[in-house]
Homo-oligomer: A and B are copies of this chain.
Amino acid sequence: MESKKTDRRIQRTQEALRNALVELILEKGYPKITVQNIIDRANVGRSTFYAHFLDKDDLLVSGFRAWAFDLSRNVGDGENTPDDGHIIHSQDFFLHADHHRDLYRAMLESGGGNLILKVGQEHIHHQIESHLVELLGGKELPIPLPFITNYLAGALLSLIKWWIEEDIPFDALQMDAMFQAMAMPGIRDAIMGNSNTR
């Protein structure tokens, strides 16, 4: 018998812990944080912490799950037609990063957010991959699809990181426009088979 009120109580506790973690990441970086720091900041008992999470890492990824879920819901919302020249919906990633600046900063700025960076990279990778797959069907490519998606995901994540960390004064749409400008010509060549290197 789960009651809805107690669920909310649990949620409050977990959220307090997650918020404390984000704050601490911004202050001292993920690796230097101890469980003690987190529960002190969140005003949560030691045993309560371990009742919910295995350790620091577990808390971090659990927080990232919710965040990534929000991302999946949003990506692809704007335009469903790939005919408008947007083969990949990079715009959604920039917008999402813009809406969650604090979290992104916490994740990316600290050297310890790397676990997250890896998961994020995979997430972006899959998003791009599915878009390309539906566009190509089973067509043969001069460049393997995983190569393309890793290329794009790496470039995209790196740009978001730079954009957020350095507070670059472009908005999400400008960032996306430049990203598309950089990426599209190469993608077109790779897909259509124009090899014009050299």
Question: Could you tell me if B158 and A154 are in contact, using CB atoms closer than 8 angstroms?
Answer: yes
Copies in the assembly, this chain: 2
Question: Could you tell me if A181 and B177 are in contact, using CB atoms closer than 8 angstroms?
Answer: no
User: Quick one: given A155-B154, A158-B153, A162-B146, are A196 and B185 in contact (CB under 8 Å)?
Assistant: yes
Interface stretch (choices A1-9, A93-101, A114-122): A114-122
CB-CB under 8 A from A187, the residues of chain B are: 182
Interface of A is mostly: helix
- Say whether A20 faces chain B, with CB atoms less than 8 Å apart: no
Question: Could you tell me if B181 and A195 are in contact, using CB atoms closer than 8 angstroms?
Answer: yes
CB-CB under 8 A from A155, the residues of chain B are: 151-152, 154-155, 158
CB-CB under 8 A from A117, the residues of chain B are: 114
Per-position binary interface string of chain A over residues 104-119, scored 1 when its CB falls under 8 Å from any chain B CB and 0 otherwise? 0000000111110110
Question: Could you tell me if B197 and A190 are in contact, using CB atoms closer than 8 angstroms?
Answer: no
- Say whether A13 faces chain B, with CB atoms less than 8 Å apart: no
Instruction: For the complex, give the distance between the alpha carbons of A146 and B159 in Å.
Output: 9
Nearest chain B residue, comparing its CB with the CB of A185: B185
The tally of residues in A whose CB lies under 8 Å from a CB in B reads: 48
Instruction: For the complex, give the distance between the alpha carbons of A157 and B158 in Å.
Output: 10
Question: Could you tell me if B182 and A143 are in contact, using CB atoms closer than 8 angstroms?
Answer: yes
- Say whether A59 faces chain B, with CB atoms less than 8 Å apart: no
CB-CB under 8 A from A44, the residues of chain B are: none
Output the residue of A85, A111, A143, A161 with the most chain B CB within 10 A: A111
Partner of A150, one of B159, B180, B181: B159
- Say whether A140 faces chain B, with CB atoms less than 8 Å apart: no
CB-CB under 8 A from A189, the residues of chain B are: 181-182, 185
| Known interface pairs A154-B155, A155-B155; 7 further A-B residue pairs with C-beta atoms within 8 A, sorted by A's residue number | A111-B118, A143-B182, A152-B155, A154-B158, A180-B197, A181-B186, A184-B186
Shortest beta-carbon contacts, A-B, top 5: A154-B158, A114-B114, A185-B185, A155-B155, A182-B186
